[in-house]
Amino acid sequence: MELCVRASSLLLGLLLQLLSSVDVVSAAQKFGINYGQIANNLPDPTQVAGLLQSLNVNKVKLYDADPKVLTSFANTGVEFIIAIGNENLQSMAGNPGAARQWVTQHVQPFLPATRITCITVGNEVFSGNDTGMMASLLPAMKAIYAAVGELGLGGQVTVSSAHSVNVLATSFPPSSGAFREDLAQYIQPLLDFHGQTNSPFLINAYPFFAYKASPGSVSLPYVLFEPNPGVRDPNTNLSYDNMLYAQIDAVYAAMKAMGHTDIGVRISETGWPSKGDEDEAGATVENAAAYNGNLMQRIAMNQGTPLKPNVPIDVFVFALFNEDMKPGPTSERNYGLFYPNGSPVYAINTGAGGVSGRTGPFDPYSAQMFSSASRLAMTSGMGVVVLLGALFLRASSARTTQQRKKVPSGFESSFQTNGNQPLSRTIESFPRVTTIAATIQRE
């Protein structure tokens, strides 16, 4: 009886905290979110708009230019990156009229009500073997950029393209970062375009794949932004306590080697799966919560990388929802922060509430996507989840301490799997490896 009373009191306290937290969020989050839709059970975009508004997430990246989504977010103030698929590159590269028509149809009608701020032309084009598509990327980008200018939207919309980190031939130490020689003929003029148009270089980076490839050699705390000895770059004497920052600075070094110090780097995708197959080491709820929570804390602090400490990292987390129709291993369907029914996959402690009031706490349990009646029906279940989450966080702390690994100082290896899909993710070993790449089929 006494145990039941104590459990009930604890649960009541947690529920009261849950209810009171709804009104705490006030300032916009500083990270963006990838809103993928390869699923058959996702909520209506109008509900998604309410969800993101309740969380004060104001930057969203799409993989298309879905008019229903763009209409649903009208007058919300949310900034959008929209996309042109790889299948359209060659037609746009050879036909400026097609590029203008695309902008007229997919961008112009939604401005200014919906804040479209960037168009990505193609996705990880250099990760495949289609040289025709590679050659078409920059002409297509130029055609879209010209169309945006001709329609008077140049002051509002930038043009870019997202790339996997495997465009790098060398990524460690970060100061030795260099692009692959076979891509130089495409990347050099692409960087020139970014420099001329003041547009960012977008990178998709997933430290998860480093750990998945070599869990016995890659430091888990290093990839999860948790306390660890760090790695020192012998050329710059800069110290890195996490892999993502090392990858970002490797991209900066590679661009500098091609004569550009005038281009910013944005992380267009990064994340960690909450579930995976038996051979996908590290794909757990605990690690996903740690990776995304620790990353969001650093974003809230306006933290920069060791090479550019005064330039806050600019990150889009992957992804908003678990997507049940994505091909590939189980992890591909479990990157979401939320289930399609609007409930959080796990609790995230971003520590954002204590950062001088500059951003609101990211509390997935305060999310408001459904009607009051629908939320009331889920309240008891959410209370149980919160209770279990508290217990899990305590256990997670102990697990983290026990699982920190020492890495052989001479570890060097290379791992690569090729696929036919345009999206790939490159991974980096810890601490001494030139390049490790893993291509994962997605879209």
- Main-chain phi, psi angles of 414, to 5 degrees: -140, 135
Instruction: Out of 2, 79, 124, 226, pick the active-site residue.
Output: 124
Q: Tell me if residue 269 is catalytic.
A: yes
Instruction: Out of 150, 181, 226, 269, pick the active-site residue.
Output: 269
User: Alpha-carbon distance 122 to 88, whole Å?
Assistant: 8
Cβ-count burial 285-302 (b if 16+ within 10 Å, e if not): bbbbbbbbbbbbbbbbbe
Reference 370, options 33, 46, 5; nearest CA is: 46
Residues in the chain: 443
**Under a CB-based contact definition with an 8 Å cutoff, are residues 345 and 331 in contact?**
no
Q: Tell me if residue 2 is catalytic.
A: no
For residue 289 the two structure tokens come to 């919560």
Q: Give how far the C-alpha of residue 238 lies from the chain's centroid of Cα atoms, to the nearest Å.
A: 25
User: Alpha-carbon distance 246 to 307, whole Å?
Assistant: 9
Q: Write a three-state SS string for 231-262.
A: EECCCCCCEECCHHHHHHHHHHHHHHHCCCCC
Alpha helices in 198-242 (DSSP H): 208-213, 220-223
Residues linked to residue 61 through DSSP beta bridges, in sequence order: 34, 81
Q: Give how far the C-alpha of residue 335 lies from the chain's centroid of Cα atoms, to the nearest Å.
A: 10
Which helix (H) or strand (E) segment holds residue 100: the answer is: helix 96-106
Residue 286 to residues 126, 198, 393, Cα–Cα distance (Å): 33, 39, 8
Are β-strands 265-270 and 115-123 bridged in parallel, bridged antiparallel, or unpaired? Answer: unpaired
Catalytic residues: 124, 269
